[in-house]
Structure 1
């Protein structure tokens, strides 16, 4: 693949991940193994409220093709095929779910030294088309995305964004929701491992005349333990404690509290991921 600007979906992703990843309110347990033939097998069980779900997945790579299959407790089969360099400088992704024959999707990504293009088409009788484009370098990216629904002849979305990236920091501005919202974010890493960082995000929604400001961060207590926290101007406080109990195996404890309504019961989440 060419070394160039990131995809549009990656604009602001670093800050978003730090503010959302691992902040869970359910109970999750997953076990991963690798067979002698190179197939990665994962079994996951999730309990949210009084509802329990689970799935079993397998990932296998053959030359430039990646096979990813998951079967859940409702016997639904989700399959994703990823072809790398099927055409030079491209990645082609085909996904579908069975028995839902209207869930098919074709995603083609093109990478250039100074630009990226993606096209995603829903494989249905009335397909929708999503297009994204970025130009720039790994340091500076400007891009846009649009979605078009053929059945109604209208645009389902049109957004634009800009990002400035450095080895230890990243800043981005995204105009989204058809121009109704603007989001600015900044993240700064304080160590080489990027486990200690500070992040800030502000969102302005014009139709509601509402601002949401969130600050957060992560701190590496030691080489095995990371704590995260975030707080927004509406009083929602979240915290995460993550510890590596075995190499690549993590236990994560998360909580969420409404500081403006202390009479509400805090939410707690627990996840255990065991990997070979």
Structure 2
């Protein structure tokens, strides 16, 4: 990497950030396109968030990704929030040109799924009702799903999220329920999305949220967990003859979306994916 006086800086703010996969992914993209940019991770304590944003503006930093625990509080320090990010209630990308916040997590999931199938008019089941589920649910609605069912152990959380998505006016049919009813819900489902931490390293042998016997061959199964690459749920999907989508794809596409927001250039997806796979030791 050739850092010069003219180099444009983008980066990540969070607490902690040392294990982020974003710097190698973005820096590989900048290098491949010959762009005078560098991506750096900044560990920002929550008490320093406002001063970090003010400082970034003063230093002419071009953009930030935002991760835990800043995704909600950072909205207080921006001039504008993208419509869907506002509905989600969280920001993971900042463009300093307009001091505008975006949420690319949901679009990352959509683009990962659309490598296999369109979301439009599909019956979608989402397991989990946390931040990732919220981001994905609104984008599933925005991209024209026929119906959405949100399942969670804490049914009240699922109900609250379902009500918020329905009230957005983006979709006409949103249901909620207990994750224990997933078998019944999968009978008519086209797409299953798992946003729970089940099967995430080091708990790679967890009992999956659904088994092969509950799936059908036309089902698309997306697991947002990317470590390990092939989760217990995806192993079940493969056994059932269903179509698996790996969590690394969401990580890739949310990063690509941020790249395009900052630079206005099309992200080199293949380069970014190769860098991610090397970082995750998948090659």
TM-score (norm 1): 0.32
Flag the structure with higher strand content: 1
Which structure features the higher share of helix residues? 2
Pair member with larger Rg = 1
